[in-house]
Structure 1
Amino acid sequence: MKSKWYELLGVKVNLFSMIQLNSLIAEAVKLNTRWIIANHNLNSLYIYHHNSQMRTFYDMADYIHIDGMALVLLGKFLRLPCERKHRVTYADWVWSLMEEAAQQNWRVLYLGSKPGVADKGAAILRDKYPQLEIDTIHGYFDPAPDSSENKAILEQINAYQPHVLMVGMGMPRQEQWILDNVDSIKTNAILPSGACIDYVAGEVATPPRWMGKAGLEWLYRLITEPKRLWKRYLIEPWFILKLFFGELWTFYVYKKAYLK
């Protein structure tokens, strides 16, 4: 699928809706190719600008969608054609994706979460979509590329032959694992998906969906998990705002020079 790249705060993104992302996976399956479909939010932007391995990962990604209303709003301020539909977060997308997987007979494998949590989430998804083929592997293993545990994980993945591999280990561990192992993985779509299955399993409280649409999901998560998330939501955004105002100033200067 051809898709235009947009520059936003020093990173590249595609403007995909949920329906377009499902179609993208369908195309990868049809072509029997392997695409990394990454995503960006405020946290990933901060890590990207401070972690060279994350920059390498995003350079390797085939497509990058927006996961965070804040990025959509910042993009709109910077005159990008961002709309609310371009904010696709896994707490919402997982249901549409699993429904599509059930209808299209895609095999899904979820790698990540604590032992038992992914199994619980998968059982809930199977109850909702009885035709869904989904298997899980917990994320508590030695991720070193040459470790015996990691090699066993790769063998298990390739034996299952998933059309969709979801890697939910949190940033930047999931991106690092994909970067280290992508050449050994047989699948069509690789999705770094964070705590997706934890939301489904009820291990992490899902914010009211109106808060996500209003760009306030961060506030709910900060209130419910302050010890873990205070830095992400109270410190990191200042760096993002610095990038934003720098880009806004550049836009203003170039626009003013052009009008002359």
Structure 2
Amino acid sequence: MIVGRDRLRLLDIEVTALPEHRMAEVLGDLIAAGGRRTVVGHNLHSCYLYHTLPGFKALYDSADVVLMDGAPVYATWKRQGTAAAADSSFRVGSTDWIKHLASVTGLDRLAVVGTNSLSNAEACRRLGMQLPQTEVLGLAGENWGPGREHAVVEELRAFQPNLVLVGLGMPLQETFLWQRRGDLPDAVYGAVGGALDQVSGHQRLAPRWLGRLGFESLWRLIHSPRRVFGRVFIEPWKLAAVLASRKFQSTDTGANK
């Protein structure tokens, strides 16, 4: 299956307009196609990183699927108008598609990379119950550094997974996937951020109805104020400044031609 991209002019990014119920089919197609495949998601935080970190941008530009994770990204896509029916099922976070893994064809080896040892073990246990026919390998992300990174790559090469959930947080997980792209074995790699802690139950997931109303950031601010304060109140303004600067430079360049 070929999935196209929609360009969001306001945010100067591209996204894959894909509803949640099709994710299992798309993941199965990516596994069957072989090679190294990548699934990522866009929210305002990733939009800022996309425009400020070259390696992060390169990974997103090369990704097979770029989901609309954040409410502002989905709202921008909806207001812009597309050929697809713009309902809320097109806003797909990592936990949304992880819950459909039992329907993914060809998934028999799953690796889970990231979070601490206890949360990783519990996430693997729960995923194993969800996927009784799938072998699950857990690789915690504690003490991440060159030595641990090398060990994880070697264990992945030995395991030869079909799908790898990488939950190291932004932008560490994207840096890992981009910089080690030549060393990692062929598989579908999903950059899932904090979803592993949500799968394990170590972090409370905001009610989906709250996310549809655009208040998920408020939920996260209440439960993890130190972690998300900057993302909610500061980073959107920094992103706006970056986009305005790019727009000004583009206009200035056009005027000087």
In 1, the alpha carbon distance for the partners of 2:5 and 2:126 equals 36
Aligned to 1:162, the other structure's residue is in SS state coil
- With over 3 angstroms needed to count, the CA separation of the structure-2 counterparts of 1:93 and 1:63, relative to structure 1, is closer
Cα distance change, pair 160–210 in 1 and its aligned pair in 2 (3 A): same
Q: 1:89 aligns with which of 93, 99, 102?
A: 93
**Residue 33 (str. 1) matches residue 35 (str. 2):** yes
Aligned partners of 1:105 and 1:133 also within 8 Å: no
Q: How many residues align?
A: 243
Q: How far is 1:111 from its partner?
A: 0.5
Unaligned runs of 5+ in 2: 247-257
User: 1:45 is matched by which residue type in structure 2?
Assistant: C
| Amino acid of the structure 2 residue aligned with 1:182 | R
Secondary structure, counterpart of 2:181 in structure 1:
helix
3-state SS of 2:99 partner: helix
Q: Which shifted more, 83-92 or 106-115?
A: 83-92
- Asked whether the equivalents of residues 44 and 73 of structure 2 are also in contact (C-alpha less than 8 Å), the reply is yes
Distance 1:156 1:243 in 2: 39
Cα deviations by residue, 1:124-145 (Å, 9 ceiling, x for unpaired): 222344333221100124443x
Which residue type is aligned with residue 93 of structure 1?
Answer: W
1:179 paired with 2:178, answer yes
Give the structure-2-normalised TM-score.
0.85
Counterparts in 2 of 1:55-134, with a 5 A limit?
Answer: 55-80=57-82, 81=84, 82-97=86-101, 99-101=102-104, 104-134=106-136
Shift of 1:244: 8.2
2:252: which partner in 1? none
TM-score between the two structures when normalised by the length of structure 1: 0.85
Alignment match of 2:25 (pick from 9, 23, 26): 23
Contact 2:115 2:167 in 1 (8 A): yes
Question: RMSD of aligned C-alpha atoms?
Answer: 2.4
Identity of aligned residues (%): 26
Deviation per CA, 1:56-88: give whole Å up to 9, x if none.
222222321111222111122223454311111
